[in-house]
C-alpha cells in the first residue's frame, strides 16, 4: 500500500491535485504503521515543495514600467505575467520587433491590463477593427 501511495503522490501535477489525493486517502493512509505514515508524510511534503517552486515570482525594476512583479510558471513556459498581465511568447516577440518607445510600451501594458486584451501582431487587425498607422508600425 505504501509503494502505491508514494507513486500516486509523486504523479501529482499540481498542489490542488496533491491536496485532493491526500484528502481522498486520509482515512486509509491513517491506518498505516507510524513509520510508513511518516514516510508518506515526508513524500507528500517533498512533492508539495517541488510543486511550489514550479512558479517563480520576482520583483524587478523595469526602466520602462518601474517596479513590477514578474511570474514564470514552469508548466507554461510560453507565458510570463507582468504585474498581473499575461503575455505570451508571440506577444512579447511582436512588441520587441516594433521597437516601441517607453510611452508606447507603457500605454500598451496599461490597455492590456485594463481591458484584459491581447497584442495583435503588427499589421493584422482584429475583425471589425480599423488598423491605424500606429498599429502598422
Encode pLDDT of 24-70 as tens digits: 998 999 899 999 999 999 999 988 888 877 777 788 888 888 888 88
Distance CA 88, CA 77 (A): 9
Distance CA 135, CA 104 (A): 11
Encode pLDDT of 99-130 as tens digits: 888 888 888 888 888 888 787 776 665 555 54
* Ramachandran category for residue 83: left, alpha or beta (phi over 0 → left; psi -120 to 50 → alpha): left
pTM of the model: 0.51
Whether 2 shows a pLDDT value over 80: the answer reads: yes
Distance CA 60, CA 47 (A): 28
Amino acid at each position: 500500500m505504501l509503494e502505491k501511495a508514494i507513486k500516486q503522490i509523486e504523479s501529482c501535477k499540481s498542489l490542488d491535485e496533491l491536496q485532493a489525493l491526500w484528502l481522498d486517502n486520509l482515512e486509509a493512509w491513517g491506518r498505516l504503521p507510524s513509520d510508513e505514515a511518516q514516510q508518506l508524510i515526508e513524500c507528500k511534503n517533498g512533492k508539495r515543495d517541488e510543486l511550489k517552486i514550479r512558479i517563480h515570482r520576482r520583483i524587478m525594476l523595469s526602466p520602462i514600467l518601474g517596479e513590477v512583479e514578474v511570474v514564470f510558471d514552469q508548466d507554461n513556459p510560453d507565458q510570463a505575467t507582468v504585474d498581473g498581465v499575461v503575455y505570451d511568447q508571440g506577444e512579447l516577440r511582436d512588441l520587441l520587433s516594433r521597437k516601441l518607445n517607453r510611452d508606447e510600451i507603457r500605454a500598451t501594458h496599461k490597455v492590456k491590463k485594463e481591458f484584459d486584451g491581447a497584442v495583435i501582431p503588427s499589421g493584422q487587425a482584429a475583425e471589425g477593427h480599423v488598423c491605424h498607422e500606429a498599429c502598422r508600425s
